[in-house]
Amino acid sequence: MTIKSYAFSVRIVNLYKFLYQEKKDTVISKQVLRSGTAIGAQSRKDFISKLSIAYKEARETNYWLRLLRDTNFINQDQAASLLLDCEELLKITGSILKTTKDKTDT
């Protein structure tokens, strides 16, 4: 999880740099930068609580990436790969959360 979320954060930072250089940085691009880099940062301490935050950040990032794609700030190819990684992070964090919560409930 940590390696995947870090690599995703690096890609999000590079996306923001690209948008900035192309003079396409907006509130949306800043929001995707914030939420996309927070996924990995939130997954270390206070495991369940922070992982819940990481899951919410991944959901939010998915939304912002789709919005950037659908408003033509990024192209389909740029979006597809990032969305795929984001959805994978959602599945991973969701699965870990479910397993961890199930174990603490028993």
- Per-residue pLDDT tens, the chain, 106 aa: give them: 678 889 999 999 999 999 999 999 889 999 999 999 988 766 544 678 888 888 999 999 999 999 999 999 999 999 999 999 999 999 999 999 888 877 766 6
Cβ-Cβ contacts under 8 Å for 103 (sequence gap 6 or more): none
The CATH number linked to 33 is 1.20.1440.60
Domain assignment present for 106: no
Domain assignment present for 83: yes
Supply the pTM of this predicted model.
Answer: 0.70
Structure tokens at 86: 């984001």
Residues spanned by the domain of 82: 2-101
Domain count, the chain: 1
Domain assignment present for 34: yes
Structure tokens at 12: 């999000």
Cα separation, 81 vs 77, in Å, equals 7
CB 39 within 8 A of CB 58: yes
